[in-house]
Amino acid sequence: MTEPREITHWIGGKAVAGASGRYGEVYDPATGRVGATVGLASPDEVDQAVAAARAAFPAWRDASLTQRARVLFAFRELVAAHAGELARLISSEHGKVVSDAAGEVARGLEVVEFACGVPHLLKGGFSENVSSRVDAYSILQPLGVVAGITPFNFPAMVPMWMFPVAIACGNAFVLKPSEKDPSASLRLAELWAEAGLPDGVFNVLQGDRVAVDGLLNHPDVKAVSFVGSTPVARHIYETAARNGKRVQALGGAKNHMVVLPDADLDLAADAAVSAGFGSAGERCMAISVVVAVDPVGDDLLDRVRARVAELKVGPGDDPRAEMGPLVTREHRDKVVSYLDGGVAQGATLAVDGRETPVLGDPGEGFWLGPTVLDHVTPEMDAYRDEIFGPVLSVVRVASYEEALELISANPYGNGTAIFTNDGGAARRFQNEVEVGMVGINVPIPVPMAYYSFGGWKESLFGDSHAHGTEGVHFYTRTKAVTSRWLDPSHGGVNLGFPTNG
């Protein structure tokens, strides 16, 4: 049996083997076998990565906007050319099917394309003659060394929500990806180098909580971006803010999809299945709760069950597969616990994913097929917890008002959707619902790159959303300059108090 390959750090423009003596195992979720090991950074290695970024920052800060844009365009072309390779790499470590992983890379590329417009994005303001022969203007400047801490579920897309904008704005970046599927970030680092990015501007620090806390406490890290669960997001926010850092920490979700009686039920059923079970439900924007407004519940459930019965579950590299395994055995077992737990608390197991056949040999893979719990109520664990797996809960309500109250009372506020043919109801919903991202007949309302991604309530800690113009503002700070250039008629010395005459 061949030895698992070792996944390294990327520091100062080159691969650097882990030196801490601590390693994590990276699994192929479809087989349950270890495919690689990854070095888990020590505090000294955190210091090395930050030092490399700090050393690279001054020259990159002073690089012209045209130079930065050229590197970004070159990086965009390289990622596009290697998209298939990246998708297969993601699939082998995360478990999602290759087509889904390719979609992830494509959405990440949209942020790179947005960041290519950095000469326009960094325009300041100018006011002439704010006082006699005095001009005022504002400029946007980078922060310095910034860090991104990203989750396992989108090992390419979520980092690309962060680092293209940060680097375009003139910062140096340290990425701490998930130790569960770390290879994509290392390949992206290689592509950055090939694109001509100076050594040290982009670094990858593999690791666990030791690396995270090292970045949060490091005095040279000026800002931290995070996507993950709400408890960790709260820790990131509180720790980084206490250390005087700028923070955007995106937390968990419990996304509801309301189906009104006038909705196209075939469209709604397609959406519920696609948004509930794509990527095995391991998405912060997955639909995890369908809120069926009477009397559509039974009819909608029948249509969902019919579609689930046709889904193909199998290894990510099998072109027939539509859904792959979960990322680890421990996570699969935790998700499975909600099935019996839901029934014990009064829900009905309408579809049991444990009975779903797997294409090929399931082996020791981390499998769970699409699962539907019906007659779920807000008191149940399956409703209250972010399950982060292929479990779709169906809640029955009597009215639009009850659906709205249910969603707005939920502690999460990441995404939501409404399915209806009534424009007035849809407009009322987008106005009234207390959620940051809203879809109208769109089940996963992830904004385009030139808008910004982020929720409300316990789905976001900090004031800034990811990418778009909010991302530009997060990775820059404004400097106001007031200037006077004297001409020969300035009049000599005047000790009086200056006025705006």
Q: Determine the residue type at 452.
A: S
Least Cα distance to 187 among 116, 46, 94, 88 occurs for 88
With a CB cutoff of 8 Å and minimum separation 6, the contacts of 74 are: 194, 195, 196
| Residue 44, both tokens | 């000294």
What gap in Å lies between CA 482 and CA 487, rounded to an integer? 16
DSSP one-letter string for 346-396: T-EEEE-GGG--BSS--TT------EEEES--TTSHHHHS---SSEEEEEE
What gap in Å lies between CA 74 and CA 42, rounded to an integer? 33
Query: Which position among 284, 321, 368, 391 bears the catalytic label?
Result: 284
Q: End-to-end distance of the chain based on CA atoms, in angstroms?
A: 83
What gap in Å lies between CA 305 and CA 276, rounded to an integer? 13
| Residue 287, both tokens | 């639909």
> Order of strands across the sheet with 23-28?
5-7, 33-39, 23-28
Q: Tokens 């890379």 belong to which residue?
A: 105
**Could you confirm whether 116 is annotated as catalytic?**
no
Which residues have a catalytic role annotated?
Answer: 284
